[in-house]
Amino acid sequence: MILPTGGGKSLVFQLPTMMKNGITIVISPLIALMQDQVSALKAQHIPAEMLSSAQTMQECNEIMDMCYAGMVKFLYLSPERLSSPATLSFLHSLKINFFVIDEAHCISQWGHEFRDDYRLLGNLKANFPNISIAAFTATATQSVIEDILRELRLENPLLLKGSVFRKNIFISAERRIGNGQAQLKNFLLRHKDESGIIYVSSRKKAEELSIFLNHAGYRSLAYHAGLPQHIREQNFKIFVNDKVDIMVATIAFGMGIDKSDIRFVVHMSLPKSLENYYQEIGRAGRDSEDSETLLLFNAADMMQHKRFLNDIQDKSYKDHLEVKIDTIYKYATSEICYHKQLANYFHEEQKSCENRCDNCLESDALRQDITKEAQMLLSAIYKTDQNFGKNYIIDILRGSSEQKILSNKADKLSVYNIGTHLSKKEWFVIVERLLELQIITLGDFQTLKLTQDAIAILKSQKLVDIKSSRLQVDKKAKAVRQVEEFDFDKELFEKLREKRTELASEMGVPAYIIFSDKTLKHLANDMPTNKEEMLEVNGVGLKKYEQFGEEFLAVINS
């Protein structure tokens, strides 16, 4: 099953397990992910356990005894445990319903989170030929799907695939100006006191940006692989329990972030692939409430990713990764619907979203002819023998008196000082547009090179235009946010959130397991005063009422 984040994959295997005798074995890649899912099941009074390297031998033996006694419905294991003869012997002694492979894309070397340990899962069919296997992922291209089926040795499996399109997510992308912090602050103005994730490219940037946000009045923490394990786990729990609003993280903050009320995801630079990007933005809006994403990027991000590929010896794998980098850069710079591009990448037909991304909201926006500016830029590249990068070329056009310009006698060129009508930032956007249209390309050391199309433009045989808004780089970024679907009492909503945090802290579970933000908004809107009225509220069932109903009614009635 391939279903977007928050689409209900867990329910697909959890419900059948509850209706059958025996135990379901769930293979999961991360200890933190297993802990989170086991906690969520236990909070619903469903018997679930995990076996991992984080437990003592005594704890493992106690859990195995519970499994022998039929007291466990779900047992979570890491893939490497399946290479242990003792684990295989233990599993053979249990009445297993079926195996579940979570995050199944980790099996494929063509996927974005390949793990060697996941290749061991190919032995499941050999060791347990009569037990069914179900595999789940949120992201898989056609080559990854084929790899999963082949590696798991699935015979004529049922393949279920949900739509890539998440209509509650608004997607926007902007060329990053400087370090992007001004754009980020403007974006966060419409997400005050809301939960979100900001992805950065390095550990240092995670620390620095978190400090910057805290000084700016936001509550944030950093998360990266350089932090000790106990600090990472502590920061994760603080974020999940709503004690801070923003997690500034590297991709180490990855799979299994099962927090339903994340309202925004920001990328401060270009991710490595569209798979990474799609999975990361999918962490927003798991509760189906309106959410927003922002991608800040520039061409330097792409070149940085490609430099990391230099040490890869396998040429076909290196080429494969390079295509992924080119693809996401084209995605970010394109003027086509962002949702449609994602769907096409995952082999799905999708119409333009109309109003759920920047490109569609601006599809009818004014376009500006930049043929004249393109000719200026291309002429400058040609007259400097295609040996320089964008900064040098733009400095020539804007009449810079930098020493390098003067010593090279570039101030004597006919193109010197002819482009002062545009700012440096605006010229950068024109360079990006010409790169997007492949009128110019990047050579070694990021030098600008002309393509065949450049000749047609220089001869005025071809025109170039751009979306006008892309050139408005010196103006304040626009605010795009859907209106709330319904009105609700904001003060009551905050009091209900406080009660939820208090209960979550007492139970030692994430806050969203008690009630989602969406349910709290309905409570703050409907304001039930008794059990019957509360059971009518979207998201409140009998079991949740028995656990928490009276406490929330007391808040409303007060």
DSSP string, 64-116: HHHHHTT--SEEEE-GGGGG-HHHHHHHHTS-EEEEEESSGGGG-TTSSS--G
Which helix H or strand E contains 170, and what residues bound it?
strand 169-175
Distances (CA, A) of 188 to 170, 201, 215, 305: 14, 19, 14, 27
CA atoms in the 13 A half-sphere facing the CB of 29: 20
Domain 9-152 and domain 169-361, same fold? Reply is: yes
What is residue 2's DSSP assignment? B
Where are the extended beta strands (E) located within 447-540? 448-450, 465-467
Please check whether the domain covering 490-557 is classified as CATH 1.10.150.80: yes
Closest CA relative to residue 441, chosen from 455, 454, 428: 454
Q: Where are the domains of the chain?
A: 9-152, 169-361, 371-463, 490-557
CA 338 – CA 354 distance, rounded (Å): 10
Tell me which residue of 445, 427, 428, 458 sits closest to 386, measured CA to CA: 445
Crossing angle of helices 31-43 and 229-240, rounded to 10°: 40
Report the alpha-carbon angle 538-540-543, nearest 5.
Answer: 155
Rounded CA-CA distance 341/344 in Å is 5
Contacts of 256 (CB under 8 A, 6+ apart): 28, 30, 32, 33, 36, 37, 103
- Taking CA 507 as the corner, what is the angle to CA 22 and CA 545, rounded to the nearest 5 degrees? 75
Query: What's the distance, CA 51 to chain centroid?
Result: 28
Total H helices, total E strands in the chain: 24, 15
* Residue indicated by tokens 């570039």: 410
Q: What is the spatial distance between Cα 405 and Cα 472, in angstroms, rounded to a whole number?
A: 28
| Domain topology for 371-463 | Arc Repressor Mutant, subunit A (1.10.10)
Q: Give CA angle at 490 (486, 496), nearest 5°.
A: 105
For 346, counting Cβ atoms within 10 Å of its Cβ (0-12 exposed, 13-18 middle, 19+ buried), the class is buried
Chain-centre distance for alpha carbon 464: 33
**What pLDDT is stored for residue 364 in this prediction?**
53
Instruction: Report the C-alpha gap between 178 and 191 in whole angstroms.
Output: 22
Name the CATH superfamily housing domain 169-361. Answer: P-loop containing nucleotide triphosphate hydrolases (3.40.50.300)
> Bridge-partner residues for 492, per DSSP?
none
Give the whole-angstrom CA distance, residue 58 versus residue 418: 77
Q: Among 475, 473, 468, 479, which residue's Cα sits nearest to residue 362?
A: 468
Per-position pLDDT tens, the chain of length 558? 998 877 788 899 999 999 999 999 999 887 777 887 898 899 889 999 999 877 888 999 999 999 999 999 999 998 888 888 999 999 999 999 999 998 888 887 666 566 677 877 888 988 999 999 999 988 888 888 888 898 899 888 999 998 899 999 999 998 888 889 989 999 999 998 899 999 999 999 999 999 999 999 999 999 998 999 889 889 988 998 889 999 999 987 865 677 889 999 999 999 999 988 998 998 999 888 899 999 999 888 988 898 888 888 888 888 888 999 999 998 998 888 999 999 999 888 889 998 999 888 865 557 889 999 999 999 999 999 999 999 999 999 999 999 999 999 999 999 999 999 999 989 998 998 898 788 999 898 889 999 999 999 999 999 998 888 778 765 544 434 443 445 688 899 999 999 998 998 888 877 878 888 889 988 998 889 898 889 888 888 888 899 999 999 999 999
- Rounded CA-CA distance 276/295 in Å is 13
Alpha helices, DSSP H, located in 508-549: 517-526, 531-534, 542-544
Q: Distance of CA 87 to CAs 56, 74, 475, Å?
A: 15, 16, 61
Q: How far apart are CA 556 and CA 558, in angstroms?
A: 5
Residue 336 confidence (pLDDT): 84
pLDDT (0 to 100) of residue 254:
67
Amino acid 44: pLDDT:
86
Per-residue pLDDT tens digits for 76-90? 998 888 888 999 999
Question: Whole-angstrom Cα distance, residue 430 to residue 267?
Answer: 22
477 CB-near residues (< 8 Å, 6+ apart): 174, 183, 186, 187
Domain range 9-152, CATH architecture: 3-Layer(aba) Sandwich (3.40)
